Structure 1
Amino acid sequence: MRGRRLCYCILLLLVLTSAVEAIAAAGTGSGNGSEKWGYVQVRPRAHLFWWLYRSPNRVEDPSNPWPIVLWLQGGPGASGVGIGNFQEIGPLDTNLRPRNSTWLQKADLLFVDNPVGTGYSFVEGKDPEVFVKTDEEAGEDLARLLMALFNRDEGLQQSPLYIVAESYGGKFAVTTALSVIYAVQAGKLKLILGGVALGDSWISPEDFVFSWAPLLKDVSRMDNTGLEKSNGVAMRISEQLKDGKFQEATSSWNELENLISSFSNSVDFYNFLLDAGMDPLSLVAVELAATGGLSMRKYSKYLSSTRTSTPGGDGGDLDELMNGTVKKKLKIIPRNFTWGEQSDMVFAKMGGDFMKPRINEVDELLERGVNVTIYSGQLDLICSTKGTESWVEKLKWGGKGTFLRKERTPLYCGGEEEGTKGFTRSYKNLHFYWILGAGHFVPVDQPCVALDMVGAITRSPTNSKLKVR
């Protein structure tokens, strides 16, 4: 099966490559070369927007090449160029002030608004047939974008690329990594894949929906009645997935989220210690009695909301920023196009793929020797640590047994006197980080740990403060 899939993907890439290589990654950048941005037409009428930052901390070491992090946001339909960049790990916050914890300290950063229709990326005429419908299609589009960027830039080719994802972006990360591998093997992409990091990622929806009610019951946020009702819907979702009724499973997921919210008095799905809307980056305060469509967007609602204040006084309005100052700076965004205006269509088009697991893709990456890192915020509910541990136990990778038996190692950031910041466990090419005190948005909740963790993941030549005892 895998061989047939590989042959199919290689043939597909052979057909597409000539067209992709003819497409210039048209764009512009700063005068000093510290950043570049542009569009790549990955298919007819489909345009992906990218933004690359060069690190001022770059260290030239032939024995340890400077890394590039490709950041993939979730949703599906959330803007990495907006959220990941200005709210989580980029050089500036939404008030355009320098971010002390920017990941540029450890790597160059490549943000892409993915899939097409997300953020600044767009589909001409909003043609419904051009939007992607599956994770594989999104991965293929990203591989085409990477061909356009890397194949003509020898500098980029020298730096290993690490695909780091958050939330639904984890599903895109594993399908993109496999598309990259196939393209490199076919000689159509000049790129070094350094690894994949899955942060609070929606890899196995079934495992997550079964984790929600028991977790909330354990932390006194739900009673036995809520537990019983929620588990009943989770069982229905499990049966729907077994029967291949993926669109129906997405509808049941929507129902379960409403049920969880009702019996927990509106718990925040991105930090179970809070009520919905209290976490500055969760942005999920919606009416519980809303229609299915609005509730479905609850998971990706933060992509378009104007409530974007973040800890530390970052109270800038992301929507105004992206459609005002940033759009003027970039100069190449279509005049009448509004950042994020097609994002709801992205989510709707992927409704049939939303609940599909991607455990097999993680297995394939591990079997191919790709470094896979999983990190999970302790307080996340939507992609809970409990659910993540469940899908990891389903891996068929040969090293799983040894990995699960190994003891965890405590993590410290800034000194042991400041307390335990998390735990880690590694075996061969699988690595897991448990991040304490963090919800869904680990780089925001625990910036010190997140920064040094990405330095370890990418083998950045810069020094690390993260202490492993």
Structure 2
Amino acid sequence: MEFPKTQAEKFIRGLNLFPELDVNIAEEDPAFTASKIVEKGLLFPCLGDPTCVEYLGHTAGYYRLPHTKSASYNLHLFFRMFYFFFQSRNNPITDPVVVYITGGPGCSTSLALFYENGPFQITDNLSLVWNDFDIFMNDILRQVSNIIYVDQTTGTGFSYTSDKADIRTDSQGAAVDFYDFMQAFFEAHPQYARNDFYIIGESYARHYIPAFADRVQRGNNNKEGIHINMKGLAIGSGLTEPEIQYKAYADCALSMKLITQSDYNSLGRSLAGSSSGPSSACTKAFYDCTGIFNSIVNKIGRTNFFDIRKKCAGLCYDFSKLENFLNQKSVRQALGVGDIQFVTCNRSVYDPMKPDWMKNYEVVIPALLENGVKLLVYAGEYDLVCNWHGNARWVDAMVWSGQKNFVSTPSVPFKVDGVEAGLTKSSELLTFLKVYNAGHWIPKDQPKASIEMIKRWIQGIPL
């Protein structure tokens, strides 16, 4: 059995990342003195297209968070949350506002911005070019929305603190910071405050998204601050209900022919359940259930559990260009982050989250559905770590007023340009989609299908 810190290191090294820092802890604030949002326009270096900045409509900024230990007892201490903001290419004033969140836990959303659903790729000489898929088409979310990529939790990406006590240990704590940030963002950008609002994310965002949405809903219900017009949540490649989803690992591995029937039988059927109780119970469940998953990983050898079609030859992926690009002095100057170092994924955020890992965040979703917030859950057919089997099961098992109709609704093909790209089931406010020919990072594997999925879902068009 691998302990959490070892798992974090294995995960980070598997992406070919070697951050200089475990987490962003800064002794002084080198860039800002303002108490709220500080934004500036970006001037990214681009390769072969001097007009690319005009297409981007972008800013980057920091927000000084109030509900932190560093903010509460010493004004010289601080925690700042970093974000990118990109205006919609359609109609910024009326289009929805989408917040996109990456998982980890402890990985920057710049991974999604530069490798999945943003407009650029990073070249070998650390410049930017348009994505190969299409000069605009792979800029998925900006076709239908204004988009915010936010580095959270504390210490992730360019977000930083001056006090290690601010490192969050659960998604509820991260939700406090998220809500404070959104209030400050809409105060600074009142022209977007009445727009429809969506939270979309992947992987460990399976925990963040329900927790963040729950905090937004409570703020709205209690008439705190600015009303946020929350319309929907989309969870991609997530692990939201651990008790159900961990039990699906062996079934998924057997159906994919990654293990034999004998292997399946030897894994046993006794799994520790998820918990919303004491952290010690959640930690034990983390060890027990991770042990089951590690047993499967050991049996499949070099098979990439993010995408079983691929092999890991030492590395599963190489995301090192992101860290190298964003840590260039010229880029940090363009972003206005001063001397703060970019940390793509970090151990010091991953490790304290182990009590949160096994908590069931499905429990807050039914109330959101009953309140008219729609939900899209999607998963790639070749992803093992957050497989479609477990995601389909927890969505079916969720108790809410529309459960019976959803469960009885037949699955139908999801077609893009007349070609079947997945299998979907939808009833009322709930939609599930299995995406064909995709692993864990669906927008990277199937950009065109991802575009259609998000477009139709946001616009209320059946998948």
Q: Is the 8 A contact 1:70 1:164 kept in 2?
A: yes
Which of 17, 28, 38 pairs up with 1:26?
38
Give the equivalent residue in structure 2 for 1:361: 364
Give the equivalent residue in structure 2 for 1:439: 439
C-alpha distance 261-342 of structure 1, shift in aligned 2 (>3 A): closer
Give the equivalent residue in structure 2 for 1:97: 129
In the aligned structure 1, how far is the partner of 2:277 from the partner of 2:233?
A: 28
In the aligned structure 2, how far is the partner of 1:445 from the partner of 1:175?
A: 28
In the aligned structure 1, how far is the partner of 2:328 from the partner of 2:103?
A: 23
Which of 148, 151, 156 pairs up with 1:118?
156
In the aligned structure 2, how far is the partner of 1:242 from the partner of 1:181?
A: 23
Q: Which amino acid aligns with 2:273?
A: S
Q: Which amino acid aligns with 1:90?
A: G
In the aligned structure 2, how far is the partner of 1:384 from the partner of 1:325?
A: 39
DSSP 3-state at the match of 1:398: coil
Note if 1:272 corresponds to 2:288.
Answer: no
Note if 1:384 corresponds to 2:419.
Answer: no
Q: Is the 8 A contact 2:168 2:174 kept in 1?
A: yes
Q: Is the 8 A contact 2:60 2:85 kept in 1?
A: yes
* 1:96-117 CA-partner distances (Å, limit 9, x unpaired): 1123311222222100011111
**What stretches of structure 2 of length at least 5 have no aligned partner?**
1-33, 44-53, 72-77
Give the equivalent residue in structure 2 for 1:286: none
Moved more, 150-159 or 67-76: 150-159
* 1:203-236 CA-partner distances (Å, limit 9, x unpaired): 012222222222222222112343234335xx24
C-alpha distance 41-368 of structure 1, shift in aligned 2 (>3 A): same
Note if 1:35 corresponds to 2:58.
Answer: yes
C-alpha distance 386-325 of structure 1, shift in aligned 2 (>3 A): farther
Could you tell me how far 1:375 is from its partner in structure 2?
Answer: 1.1
C-alpha distance 321-30 of structure 1, shift in aligned 2 (>3 A): closer
Query: What TM-score results when the alignment is normalised by the length of structure 1?
Result: 0.79
C-alpha distance 383-331 of structure 1, shift in aligned 2 (>3 A): closer
Q: Which amino acid aligns with 2:122?
A: T
Give the equivalent residue in structure 2 for 1:348: 351
Give the equivalent residue in structure 2 for 1:450: 450
C-alpha distance 267-249 of structure 1, shift in aligned 2 (>3 A): farther
Q: In angstroms, what is the RMSD of aligned CA positions?
A: 2.5
Give the equivalent residue in structure 2 for 1:12: none
In the aligned structure 2, how far is the partner of 1:434 from the partner of 1:34?
A: 33
Q: Which amino acid aligns with 1:230?
A: L
Give the equivalent residue in structure 1 for 2:79: 46
* 1:317-363 CA-partner distances (Å, limit 9, x unpaired): 1111121267434443241x321177211111111111111111122
Q: Is the 8 A contact 1:85 1:111 kept in 2?
A: yes
Q: Which amino acid aligns with 1:39?
A: Y
Q: Which amino acid aligns with 1:355?
A: M
Q: Which amino acid aligns with 2:59?
A: K
In the aligned structure 2, how far is the partner of 1:326 from the partner of 1:67?
A: 32
Q: Is the 8 A contact 1:196 1:370 kept in 2?
A: yes
Larger relative contact order (CA 8 Å, sep ≥ 6): 2
Query: What TM-score results when the alignment is normalised by the length of structure 2?
Result: 0.80
In the aligned structure 1, how far is the partner of 2:411 from the partner of 2:225?
A: 40
C-alpha distance 222-69 of structure 1, shift in aligned 2 (>3 A): same
Q: Is the 8 A contact 1:366 1:429 kept in 2?
A: yes
Paired positions, count: 397
Matches within 5 A, 1:122-133: 122-125=160-163, 127=164, 129-133=165-169
Moved more, 131-140 or 206-215: 206-215
* 1:224-283 CA-partner distances (Å, limit 9, x unpaired): 343234335xx24338889961112222344333311221123322112323359x9x53
Give the equivalent residue in structure 2 for 1:287: none
In the aligned structure 2, how far is the partner of 1:442 from the partner of 1:413?
A: 15
Could you tell me how far 1:198 is from its partner in structure 2?
Answer: 0.8
Q: Which amino acid aligns with 1:203?
A: T
Could you tell me how far 1:423 is from its partner in structure 2?
Answer: 2.3
C-alpha distance 120-30 of structure 1, shift in aligned 2 (>3 A): closer
What percentage of aligned pairs have identical amino acids? Answer: 21
**What stretches of structure 1 of length at least 5 have no aligned partner?**
1-21, 284-306, 309-315
Note if 1:321 corresponds to 2:350.
Answer: no
C-alpha distance 183-259 of structure 1, shift in aligned 2 (>3 A): same
Q: Is the 8 A contact 1:327 1:333 kept in 2?
A: no
Could you tell me how far 1:86 is from its partner in structure 2?
Answer: 0.4
